[in-house]
Amino acid sequence: MLVAANQEGELIHSTRVADRKGDEFSCPICRKRVLYKAGRKRIPHFAHQREENCPGMEEAESFIHLEGKNLLHEWASQWAERAVLERYYDSICQRADIEANAEGRVFAIEYQCSPLSAKRLTERTLGYRKIEVEPIWIFHSNFLKKKGNLLWSLTSSLQSAIRISPSGFPYLLFFDCHTPNTLIMLTNLIPITKELFFGQAESVTFTGKSLPQILDQQARTILFIPEWMRKRESLIRNEWRYQGITNPLLRSFYSLGIQSNLPRMIGIPLRSSVLFGIPSHHWQGYVILDLLDCQVKEGEIRADGIRKRFMDRLRKREILIRDLPSDSISLFTPVEEFMRFLEKAEYLIKNGENSYIIKEGFPIKTIRQEELNHLLVDFFKEENDALWRN
C-alpha cells in the first residue's frame, strides 16, 4: 500500500516519506504496524508484517499495481476536486485504490492487475453502488486477449465490468503503467458468442483530460461488420454440422424450410446484445420466431405480444442475461433495437399505431450481403444520431 499513518496519526504517502529514521507507521484500516520499504528500483511502499488479516487488503499487491495506482492517483489529482489514495469505506468494508470527486460524482477507481472472480468483482461493484459511488474498473493490459482482427476473448470478470457509455456503446478500460498517460479503451464491445467479443481498441492519452470526459465520449462508428459477418457464418455452419436439428433453435427454422444456414438478418451486431450471454444469432433467431408466431396467432405484431414471448424465453432460460454492473438499459432494449433494424430493412411494416406486419416471404427471402452491410452502416449512424438528440 501507498498510504500509512505516522505516530501522530497523520496519513503519509510512501513517496513523500522524507526521514524515516525511527518513524513508525501503521495501517490506517487495521491499525497494525506496517513496514516502510524503499529500494532504488521500485516505488516506496508500506507492507503489513507477514500475512496479517486486514480487511482493506484483498490480496498481496504487486509492484505493477502499486506503480499504476500511484500514476492514476497523480492523474486524478489533476482533474478531481479531491483525489484520495486508498480510500477505505467502513460501511462496506472495501478499499478503493483511488477515490475521486468531480462534477458532483464520486468515483472509486480500481486498478485490477491480478485475477479477480466475476462474483467478487460484482460484489465490490454492488458495494460501491450501495453507497452511491461509481466504480471504475481499469484492468492491466495483460488481460487483453486478442483472438483475431478486432476479435477479443473476455473472461467473465472482464464481462461483468463492462460499462455502457451515455451514448450507448459498451466499453472496458485498460492501463499499463509502463505506457504512462495512456488508457486503452476497448469500445463498441459486441458479443458474438458468450466469451468472444468484437471491439475496437483505442489508445486514449489522458493528460489534460478528466475521467468524466473519457467516460462520456461520443459514439464510435462500428468498424468490424465484414469480420463479424464472416465469423457469424462460420459459427452457424458449425452448429448445423455438429448439432443440426438437435439444437432447438435450428429445429424451429428447419420446420420453416430453412436448412444449413440462417437468414442473414439473424445474428447482426447490435450494441445492446451485450446484455445477453448467448450468441447473437440465438436471441435474434428467437425474436424472429416470436414475430412469426405473433403474426400467425394474433394477425398483427404488437410490442406487448413480443414482450410476453420474450419474457417467457427468459424464464425458460433460452435467453440468458449477462451480469453487468450498468443498469442503464432495460432487458427489452435489444429486442427493440433489433425490431428497429428489421423495420429499416423493410421486413417489418408499420400497420398502424404500435402495430406491425411481416413482409411476405419473410424470413426465407433473404438479402444480399453487401446490401445488409450498407443497411447496417446507415442504421448505426441513425441510432447514434438519435442517441445524441435525446
Give the residues lining the site for Zn ion (CB under 5 A): 27, 29-30, 54
The total of other beta-carbon atoms located within 10 Å of residue 286's CB is 22
Q: Nearest distance from residue 323's CB to Zn ion, in Å?
A: 30
Q: Are residues 120 and 161 in contact, defined by beta-carbon separation less than 8 angstroms? A: no
Q: Nearest distance from residue 131's CB to Zn ion, in Å?
A: 21
Whole-angstrom distance, CA of residue 303 vs CA of residue 381: 24
DSSP 145: -
Whole-angstrom distance, CA of residue 3 vs CA of residue 372: 56
Residues in the chain: 390
Supply the angle between the helices 248-255 and 280-298 in degrees, to the nearest 10.
40
Whole-angstrom distance, CA of residue 172 vs CA of residue 326: 12
CA proximity to 86, closest of 46, 37, 41: 46
Whole-angstrom distance, CA of residue 101 vs CA of residue 339: 40
What residues contact 65, with CB distance under 8 A and at least 6 apart?
111, 113, 114, 140
Query: Residue 30 or residue 118: which is nearer to Zn ion going by CB?
Result: 30
CA proximity to 276, closest of 233, 248, 310: 310
Q: Are residues 37 and 103 in contact, defined by beta-carbon separation less than 8 angstroms? A: no
Query: Residue 45 or residue 231: which is nearer to Zn ion going by CB?
Result: 45
Query: Residue 24 or residue 103: which is nearer to Zn ion going by CB?
Result: 24
Query: Residue 54 or residue 102: which is nearer to Zn ion going by CB?
Result: 54
Query: Residue 54 or residue 204: which is nearer to Zn ion going by CB?
Result: 54
Q: Nearest distance from residue 130's CB to Zn ion, in Å?
A: 23
Q: Nearest distance from residue 27's CB to Zn ion, in Å?
A: 3
C-alpha cell at 96: 478503493
Q: Nearest distance from residue 212's CB to Zn ion, in Å?
A: 32
Cite the DSSP H helix spans in 57-104.
63-79
Query: Residue 30 or residue 102: which is nearer to Zn ion going by CB?
Result: 30
Query: Residue 17 or residue 30: which is nearer to Zn ion going by CB?
Result: 30
Cite the DSSP H helix spans in 105-184.
118-130, 156-160
Supply the angle between the helices 303-315 and 280-298 in degrees, to the nearest 10.
130
Q: Nearest distance from residue 113's CB to Zn ion, in Å?
A: 19
Q: Nearest distance from residue 134's CB to Zn ion, in Å?
A: 25
Q: Nearest distance from residue 31's CB to Zn ion, in Å?
A: 7
Query: Residue 89 or residue 332: which is nearer to Zn ion going by CB?
Result: 89
